[in-house]
Structure 1
Amino acid sequence: MPRQITLVAERGLPFTLAGQVADEVREAVSAATGEPVRLECTGGALTLDDDGEIHLSHSIAATADKSDLVLFFTELPRLEHGRPAPAEIDTERSAGIISIPACGTVALPQRVAHLSIACLVGLLAGDTDDAAFRSAESRRRRWHIDDERQGKRTLVAASRWGWALLVMGMMRVNRPWRLVSTLKGVIAAAAATASFGIFYTSIWQMATTIHPWRLVLITAFAVTLMATWLIVANRLWESGGGRAVWNRLYNTVTVCTVLTGVATMYVGLYLLTFVAGLVVIDTGFMTEKIGRPAALSSFLLLAWLATSMGIVAGALGSSTDSYDAILRATFGERERERRKRQSEQEDPQDERGR
Structure 2
Amino acid sequence: MTHGGPHRPEIVVGLVATPPDHPARVTAQLRAELADRLAERVDADVRWIVREGWGDVAPRRDGGADALLDDLAQRHTDDGWDVAVCLTDLPLHADRVPLVAQTSARRRAVLVSLPALGLRQLPAVRAVVPDLVGRILTDASDERVPPSAREPAELASQVTAVHRAHGEADSGEWRYVASRLTGRMRLLAGMVRANRPGRALLGLSKLLVGAFGTAAFALTTSTIWQMGDALGPLRLTVIMLLGLTALVAWLIIAHDLWEKPDRDTSPELARMFNWGTVLTLALATAVSYVVLFVGTALAAALLIDNSVLEQTLQRPAHTTDYLTLAWIISSLATVGGAIGSGLEDEETVRAAAYGYHPEPDGWQDQKAR
TM-score per shorter chain, which class?
Answer: 0.7 to 0.9
Map 1:184-195 onto structure 2 (within 5 A). 184-195=205-216
Task: Tell me what 2:86 maps to.
Answer: 72
Task: Tell me what 2:328 maps to.
Answer: 305
Aligned CA distance change for structure 1 residues 49 and 278 (closer, same or farther; 3 Å): closer
Task: Tell me what 2:167 maps to.
Answer: 145
2:112 matches 1:98? yes
Out of 133, 142, 155, the residue aligned to residue 135 of structure 1 is 155
Aligned CA distance change for structure 1 residues 133 and 69 (closer, same or farther; 3 Å): farther
Task: Tell me what 1:18 maps to.
Answer: 27
Any gaps of 5 or more consecutive residues in structure 2?
1-8, 140-146, 360-364
More helix by share: 1
Q: Which amino acid aligns with 2:276?
A: V
Map 1:153-302 onto structure 2 (within 5 A). 153-241=174-262, 243-302=266-325
**1-side partners of 2:331 and 2:325: how far apart?**
10
Q: Using the TM superposition, give the Cα deviation of residue 263 of structure 1 relative to its aligned residue in structure 2, in angstroms.
A: 0.8
Q: Which amino acid aligns with 2:339?
A: L
Aligned CA distance change for structure 1 residues 331 and 52 (closer, same or farther; 3 Å): farther
Q: Using the TM superposition, give the Cα deviation of residue 44 of structure 1 relative to its aligned residue in structure 2, in angstroms.
A: 0.9
2:344 matches 1:331? no
SS in 1 for 2:107: coil
Task: Tell me what 2:62 maps to.
Answer: 51
**1-side partners of 2:161 and 2:324: how far apart?**
46
Task: Tell me what 1:3 maps to.
Answer: 11
Q: Using the TM superposition, give the Cα deviation of residue 140 of structure 1 relative to its aligned residue in structure 2, in angstroms.
A: 5.8
Aligned CA distance change for structure 1 residues 52 and 223 (closer, same or farther; 3 Å): farther
**1-side partners of 2:344 and 2:79: how far apart?**
46
2:63 matches 1:40? no
Deviates more, 1:166-175 or 1:177-186: 177-186
> Does structure 1 retain, via aligned residues, the 8 Å contact 2:89–2:113?
yes
Q: Percent identity?
A: 27
**1-side partners of 2:148 and 2:11: how far apart?**
20
Deviates more, 1:313-322 or 1:212-221: 313-322
**2-side partners of 1:146 and 1:44: how far apart?**
31
Q: Using the TM superposition, give the Cα deviation of residue 83 of structure 1 relative to its aligned residue in structure 2, in angstroms.
A: 2.8
Q: Using the TM superposition, give the Cα deviation of residue 132 of structure 1 relative to its aligned residue in structure 2, in angstroms.
A: 7.3
SS in 2 for 1:170: helix
Tell me the TM-score normalized by structure 1. 0.84
Number of residue equivalences: 335
Per-residue displacement from partner, 1:198-221 (whole Å, max 9, x unpaired)?
A: 211221222233212221111111
SS in 1 for 2:288: helix
**1-side partners of 2:27 and 2:59: how far apart?**
21
Q: Which amino acid aligns with 1:173?
A: A
Instruction: Compute the RMSD of aligned alpha carbons.
Output: 2.8
